Amino acid sequence: MKKVITYGTFDLLHWGHINILKKAKALGDHLTVCVSTDEFNKLKNKKSYYTYEHRKSILESIRYVDEVVPEENWEQKISDITKYDIDVFVMGNDWEGEFDFLRSYCEVIYLDRTKNISTTQIKKDLSMIK
């Protein structure tokens, strides 16, 4: 069984997230999503609207997602690849090159981001509504 993993906050889930999850799953037979905890988001200078538990339950409802586990720090990726027996690591290409060090452990694939959608843009647009 070819296992794929991807990482992210996945806040205010949108079709850009769905696109990458769909494409990531298509690269194998099983997709693990490592979703950032609220504490780790602080390290990423991100404040998510939905809590970790809610973001996890939303991701678990997606047909392309087989397993959702916590991302608690920047250093866990190498051990995750062993722990979850991963064959393919996938990230959007805003991360192009950042995770090439993982190539000695598994395949590393960067996928094109979906244009014209982001959680930041959603928050900005919504803040304009009086």
CB count within 10 Å of CB 63 equals 9
Which residue out of 44, 47, 83, 124 is catalytically annotated? 44
CA–CA dist 100, 95 (Å, integer):
10
The residue among 115 and 130 lying less far from ligand C2G, judged by its C-beta, is 115
3 vs 12 by CB, closer to ligand C2G: 12
Alpha carbons within 13 angstroms on the beta-carbon side of residue 74 total: 6
Catalytic site includes residue 44: yes
By beta-carbon proximity to ligand C2G, the closer residue of 35 and 87 is 35
Shortest approach of ligand C2G to residue 2 CB, angstroms? 19
Residue 28 within binding range of ligand C2G, rule CB under 6 A = no
Tell me if 37 contacts ligand C2G by CB under 6 A: no
Active site residues: 44, 46
